[in-house]
Structure 1
Amino acid sequence: MSVVVSTEWLNDRLKNHPENTVVVDTRFDLMDPDAGRKIYLNGHIPQAVYLDLNKDLSEKPQKHGGSHPLPDMEMFAAKVGNIGIDHDTTVVVYDQRNDMFAARLWWLLQYMGHEDVHLLDGGFEQWEKEGYSVTTEVPALKAKDFKPVFRENDVADIEEVQEKLQHHKATLIDSRSKARYLGETEPLYNRAGHIPGAKNFFWKNVLDEEGKWKEVSELERNFSSLSKDDEIIVSCGSGVSACPNVLALKSAGFRNVKLYPGSFSDWISYEENEVETKDE
């Protein structure tokens, strides 16, 4: 089945298979880190547990590694088990709309070898709009034993990015907006522009005019300038908004797709690394 599921599908799943379903709320605001948890407590999809981008889905920033480095994966695997997930569990992740934080958790679970994980199309906003029930009750979940099987080929570090760009062994894409890619604006970092050689594919272009996920044929058109025979390394600012592009590329039939978790924020933490401001 598709990675992206409808509100109707989730509602049916919660009615008929609640014992083997875990719903995760990932709503977050980069400018107000406490906002996501607050809105979760004010109302969420029944049975949903909250995971926080800063506290759960990433490690604290250090000198190198970017502003949202991957969490300690063994600890994260234990956390995943504690909220009731094992490899037989169907996981549905949602955001406020189709935002980037849900895709980050999708990627993390995929990276740890969990296949049965899905995104709710339209997120919490669509769920509410269609009149499905909302609760403030925090669920009591039964812990399970989650054993990660890491897909090391799904991730690239800065050394690999540098080597493959130098020898033209991979295509690097930057998932941020065109204005940030070109260095015309930069709200988060002290240097503006992009990693030299990166091509711009704004992550929101995988969504249609209504903010829903595009069909496979449309995703294929979105990435038609890329070759499915090439290795694609996906970056953004800090490895979060890259994740919708990873999902979209895989949905469009690209198989050799890696995430550069540190992304631009890691790249510029090395003063000797150059940045580019022209379109490539």
Structure 2
Amino acid sequence: MGNGKATAFASALTLLLLCLALAHPALAGTETGEFCPTCPDWTDMDGWLAKKEAYEQEQQQKAQLEKEAITLTTQNAPPEQVQVPPESNPATGGISRVRTGNFAQALVSPQEVLSDDIVLDISPSATRYIEGAVNINYERFYAEGGRFRSVGEIAELLGQAGISRNDSLVIAGECLPCGGGPSPAVFSYWILKYLGQEKVRVLDGSIEDWAAAGLNTSNVSAMRPRTDYIPALRPELLATYDFVVNGGAQIVDARPPGDFSIGSIPGAINIPFENVVEDETVRAQEDLEKVFVGLDKARPVVVYTNVGVEASLVWFALTLSGYDARLYTWRDWLENQPKFGYELTEARAEPNPVRSGSTTTITASFQEKLMANAGNSSGDEVKLTIKGCSTCGFEGFALGTSGASGNKSGTIQLSSSGKTSQSSATGQDNALHCTAIVNAPDGSEAASTSLLRTSGYKFVGIWNAKVAPGIYKVSIAASASGHTETFEDVLEIEVTDKA
């Protein structure tokens, strides 16, 4: 055939194949978005798995037909008309990225996972695993009450799963109840790096990408012989409060813009964690260069969020982009701000009851608050304390160790700050100011009066009860060195008729 006839024939064949692909029976709801291949139906898991298998087969058949159509068109078209489409994932529709440099060392595609790699799946409640993968639900890194397990306990978990620090690991999995995405896997990567794991990477994609690549999956995780995991901690990956304040670091607030606008660490810039991911994977290196354009690689970077799991995504992207990045949390910053160092010990009024139109004396007494160490360490154990939801991430962490000198309790709480808690009220007695706020029976403010210090931490003021009879509740607002605390409804004053 001539070139014109060949081109016409190829075009007609391409059109026919694409029509066949579109005419292929589709799962109900797939085209309308009603069926989600990554959203298990916990009420009918068997039915959902059957639909999911059929959906994957359909997507693979469509992809094969489209590939054949593109191949025929390419073979018959003049070279100058050939266009190579980006490699895509037929199961998820996401773009398969070509990683280089640090990105290629930390992110691995399904096809690049080697036979001697151990796949660590950190998914909670997974229904399918990469064949041969070991499962440690990342929620097991947390103990009761939201406290992160000690380094020794985490090492024990890894050892029980047959993982040693010398193994080559690939971390896979996600938390579907949390919305999916790479956050738990990347945070687990940070944990292992903190423990000193040298050979560890993150799977660049999901189990759907793994299956779409024609690789085997299993309904159960694998078991490995028990071994010993011996950590070699890298504390430089965790920013302390003192480092944030005095280390000359660039501060990145990775929370959403709304949270950033409410309050942030002074000098922080806002780079929301969503900016470093696309299609539930870390964005391409050239895209991240635009995201981090305002940062200086010559200076360290501290990145934080309320939920440290999400902060780890930005830490990961920064590290791979060549920055000296450290993880931190907004919660730790708040906990290390100067606190109000007094507690109310007594509030009274004399006389009480008081007649309407008469005066009563309000007295409030305080004492210095003892800031008890919050450490929960024992022996020489190192602990990370997590505060928040262990399923959806955590809001803060504290690194503690015991046996520190100069502490009678034998425990020093670092709270990611690198400093001990102090008894905060010393030398601040002259800065303490108090006001009594009197609220009417309907809850509105009836009056407020300043309380003057008489001796020690005792404050006295006069209230002229020119109000209607009833029960009036008194709150005491106290401030010291710019920090205020309100002790609500600590006193009731009964106002009676004049007669």
The 1-side partners of 2:204 and 2:129 are apart by 15
Task: Tell me the CA shift for residue 269 of structure 1.
Answer: 4.4
The 2-side partners of 1:266 and 1:54 are apart by 21
CA spacing shift, 1:119–1:170, aligned 2, 3 Å: same
Letter in 1 for 2:304: S
CA spacing shift, 1:119–1:98, aligned 2, 3 Å: farther
User: How many residues end up aligned between the 2 structures?
Assistant: 232
**1:54–1:60 Cα contact (<8 Å) kept:** no
1:179 to 219, 233, 258: 258
Q: What residue number does 2:283 align with? A: 214
Asked if residue 24 in structure 1 is aligned to residue 120 in structure 2, the reply is yes
Gaps (5+ residues) in structure 1? 28-35, 62-67, 184-192, 275-280
Letter in 2 for 1:104: F
Q: What residue number does 1:190 align with? A: none
Q: What residue number does 2:128 align with? A: 43
Q: TM-score normalised to the size of structure 2?
A: 0.43
The 2-side partners of 1:48 and 1:238 are apart by 27
Q: Deviations over 1:20-56 (max 9, x none)?
A: x3212223xxxxxxxx2x2x1x212122233334321
- Pairwise CA RMSD: 2.5
Task: Tell me the CA shift for residue 105 of structure 1.
Answer: 0.8
1:264 to 327, 330, 350: 330
Q: Deviations over 1:230-279 (max 9, x none)?
A: 1111111132111111111111111x22111xx123334467579xxxxx
SS in structure 1 opposite 2:134?
Answer: strand
Task: Tell me the CA shift for residue 216 of structure 1.
Answer: 2.4
Q: TM-score normalised to the size of structure 1?
A: 0.73
Bigger share in strand: 2
The 1-side partners of 2:150 and 2:188 are apart by 14
The 2-side partners of 1:129 and 1:265 are apart by 41
Task: Tell me the CA shift for residue 70 of structure 1.
Answer: 4.6
Higher relative contact order (CA 8 A, sep 6+): 1
The 1-side partners of 2:331 and 2:144 are apart by 13
The 1-side partners of 2:173 and 2:162 are apart by 19
Q: What residue number does 1:84 align with? A: 162
Asked if residue 238 in structure 1 is aligned to residue 311 in structure 2, the reply is no
Q: What residue number does 2:217 align with? A: 134
Q: What residue number does 1:5 align with? A: 108
Q: What residue number does 2:266 align with? A: 196
**2:241–2:336 Cα contact (<8 Å) kept:** no
Task: Tell me the CA shift for residue 72 of structure 1.
Answer: 1.0
Equivalent pairs: percent with the same residue? 25
Task: Tell me the CA shift for residue 196 of structure 1.
Answer: 3.2
Letter in 2 for 1:148: P
Q: Which has the larger radius of gyration?
A: 2
The 1-side partners of 2:315 and 2:234 are apart by 14
**2:166–2:198 Cα contact (<8 Å) kept:** no
- Pairwise mapping of residues 35-184 of structure 1 onto structure 2 (< 5 A)? 36=124, 38=125, 40=126, 42-56=127-141, 58-59=142-143, 70-96=148-174, 98-164=181-247, 169-183=248-262
Q: Deviations over 1:149-197 (max 9, x none)?
A: 1112111233433444xxxx111212222233224xxxxxxxxx43333
SS in structure 1 opposite 2:186?
Answer: helix
The 1-side partners of 2:267 and 2:224 are apart by 46
Q: What residue number does 2:55 align with? A: none
Q: Deviations over 1:51-106 (max 9, x none)?
A: 334321x4555xxxxxx665311221222222222233111111336421101110
The 1-side partners of 2:256 and 2:211 are apart by 28
Q: What residue number does 1:64 align with? A: none
CA spacing shift, 1:129–1:204, aligned 2, 3 Å: farther
Structure 1: which 4+ aligned runs deviate by more than 6 Å?
Answer: none
The 2-side partners of 1:125 and 1:266 are apart by 37
CA spacing shift, 1:50–1:197, aligned 2, 3 Å: farther
**2:194–2:235 Cα contact (<8 Å) kept:** yes
CA spacing shift, 1:259–1:60, aligned 2, 3 Å: farther
